[in-house]
Amino acid sequence: MLEGWRRQQSARYLKGATIGPRLRLIRRMALFTGLYPWQWTPVEGEAFIDQLRNGDCPRAVSTARGYEVTIGLFLEFLLDARYGWAQVCEQRFGEVPAQVFHEGNSILHRVDYEGDPRRRPLTYDEVQALFDAADARPGRIVERGVKGALGAARDAAVLKTVYAYGLRRTETSKLDLVDLRRNPKAPQFNGFGSVMVRYGKSSKGSPPKRRTVLLVPEMDWIVDVLDYWLTDLRPRFCPGRHPALWITERIGRLSPRSINEAFVAAKRAAGLEEHLDVHCLRHSAVTHWTEFGYPPRFVQEQVGHAHAATTAIYTGVSDEFRNRLLLASLKGRLGAAWDVRA
């Protein structure tokens, strides 16, 4: 059954990173219940989710819903008459698979965003504190007389790039030198006016999405950062003909996990809240672009969202920005009368 379901998903060109966890979840369900899939009932499904919710490491609502969906997809495959598994089970075991999750016992999707509410954009001061801490790490490593100063300098440049272009960590990891482009409309940014993202987050069964991210004038400080990386720091890694923009000490491509670790190290050195993660830099870019006055559609295209609602979730503008909008609106409506009243 599992092999057939694997082939079905593979035929849809789903990624191995999607198929593998799904198969492991079904095995976990079977191990938890001690029953075969054709013996599962809603009671087993509810007990499995209850254990996930109240165990030592409670799962998030979105994670538990994903588990319910995956189990439902597997049982849907077994019940599909085109594959014949229901008939086989009835003939051999006298039992037929049934869906274990239904409207009465499954998690409803009531809101657009169910992530950790503590995940948020960083303020301008927090971004500066993070970058200051990242810049200070190489010097502190040298003072201790240990290796890693060059890697720490690279990590500082990586984090600044994530924020300046609003990138995901995987997108950042997979950037090549050729992905740095000149923007003819902004020649003052030299060869860093745009970044070609060739490995954007893909939809199920589709190849990675591509997009071009333009450098905005408010982030022009990244030009000096990237120029220093390419002309001074990167050659010290002796990368040879390696195409990757971000190189490790072993002449490999910097991994998304390493980018995450770089953020954690800088975050803790800066004394920022522990629950913040590297993806918060992407939220920060969306928020700050909005506060700079760029249109919502432009921001949406910059980060590669298919829907404006997704971009809106990322946005957490400051009270100061909202007050500026309010004052501008009042002044536009009341004119001179508002100036006198103010």
Query: Which two structure tokens, joined as six digits, stand for 153?
Result: 């300098």
CA–CA distance, 266 with 11 (Å, rounded to integer) = 43
Catalytic annotation on 168?
yes
Q: Residue 252 has what DSSP assignment?
A: S
Q: Is 282 a catalytic residue?
A: yes
305 is catalytic: yes
Q: What are the DSSP E strand ranges found in the chain?
A: 180-181, 194-200, 209-214
Q: What is the DSSP letter of 118?
A: T
Instruction: State the catalytic residue, choosing from 67, 163, 165, 314.
Output: 314
Question: Closest by alpha carbon to 277, among 44, 119, 63, 42?
Answer: 119
Residue of 275, 272, 263, 277 lying closest to 137 (CA atoms): 263
Which residue in the list 279, 294, 324, 331 is annotated as catalytic? 279
Vertex 114 angle, CA 314 and 277, to 5°: 55
Radius of gyration of the chain (CA): 25
324 noted as active-site residue: no
How far is residue 258's CA from residue 9's CA, in Å, rounded to a whole number? 30
Residue among 22, 154, 174, 282 flagged as catalytic: 282
The one catalytic residue in 65, 168, 169, 234 is 168
- Residue 102 falls in the annotated catalytic set: no
Torsion angles phi and psi, residue 94, rounded to 5: 70, 15
Instruction: Name the active-site residue from 12, 102, 118, 201.
Output: 201
Active-site residue, selected from the candidate residues 65, 174, 283, 305: 305
DSSP state of 296: H
Please say if 314 is a catalytic residue.
yes
Please give the C-alpha separations between residue 93 and each of 44, 83, 88, in angstroms, as whole numbers: 19, 17, 8
Residues involved in catalysis = 168, 201, 279, 282, 305, 314
